[in-house]
Amino acid sequence: MQQFSKVNKRYNVILMILCIIINLIVGNLILYIMWKNSFAATSGESWFDTLNITMSLSGILCYCILFLKVPFREWTSFRLCLISIATWLAILFIGIFAVSATLWNQPEDNKIVVGILSNIFMSFVFAICGTVMFSFIAIPMGLINVFWLIRLKKHS
């Protein structure tokens, strides 16, 4: 495990908060632009707010785990680049899984357990498809976020 001094820990927390705020602003802006340019914006779909909330919460969760648990000092810049891209892909996966799981309707018959399991399976499939579809956003954003991780590596 890494041992941080109080100054390094404070610096890590400040970098983590800056990274989260900037990623939330950029991510929500991307979602808003995509929403305004999509067909769903004119059809009155209400899942946009749920997607915004779940993506924001998954971003906060993933970046807290990343900044608090990854041993930056021992990792190479290439490995930090890969973990940064993987973090964005995880944010996409968790957010899309959560929104699709909340939007599936429960079955009307009495097979609640089967219905819940099929909803989880379909949410998982949708999350994989959505992550692949939006990887063109996740990969560049992950590469941009390497900046935060390299700065953290230099100061840890």
Q: pLDDT digits over 50-72, tens only?
A: 778 888 999 899 988 888 888 87
Confidence of residue 45 (pLDDT cuts 50, 70, 90): low
Q: Over the Cα atoms of the chain, what is R_g?
A: 18
Which pLDDT score is estimated for 138? 83
Cα atoms in the Cβ-side hemisphere of radius 13 Å centred on 42 = 3
Q: Is 156 helix (H, G, I), strand (E, B) or coil?
A: coil
Q: Does 112 score more than 80 pLDDT? A: no
Domain coverage including residue 122: 6-155
Which pLDDT score is estimated for 34? 76
Q: Does 110 score more than 60 pLDDT? A: no
Asked, for residue 147, whether it belongs to a domain, the answer is yes
Mean pLDDT of the chain: 78
Quote the percentage of the chain above a pLDDT of 90.
Answer: 4
Q: pLDDT digits over 127-142, tens only?
A: 898 888 888 888 888 8
Confidence of residue 123 (pLDDT cuts 50, 70, 90): confident
Q: Where are the alpha helices (DSSP H) in the chain?
A: 6-36, 40-43, 47-69, 77-103, 112-133, 135-155
User: Are residues 146 and 84 in contact, defined by beta-carbon separation less than 8 angstroms?
Assistant: yes
Domain count, the chain: 1
Q: Is 61 helix (H, G, I), strand (E, B) or coil?
A: helix
Per-range mean pLDDT, top range of 23-27, 50-54, 72-76, 148-152? 23-27
Asked, for residue 1, whether it belongs to a domain, the answer is no
User: Are residues 134 and 90 in contact, defined by beta-carbon separation less than 8 angstroms?
Assistant: no
Q: State how far the Cα of 37 lies from the Cα of 33, in Å rounded to an integer.
A: 6
Q: Is 97 helix (H, G, I), strand (E, B) or coil?
A: helix
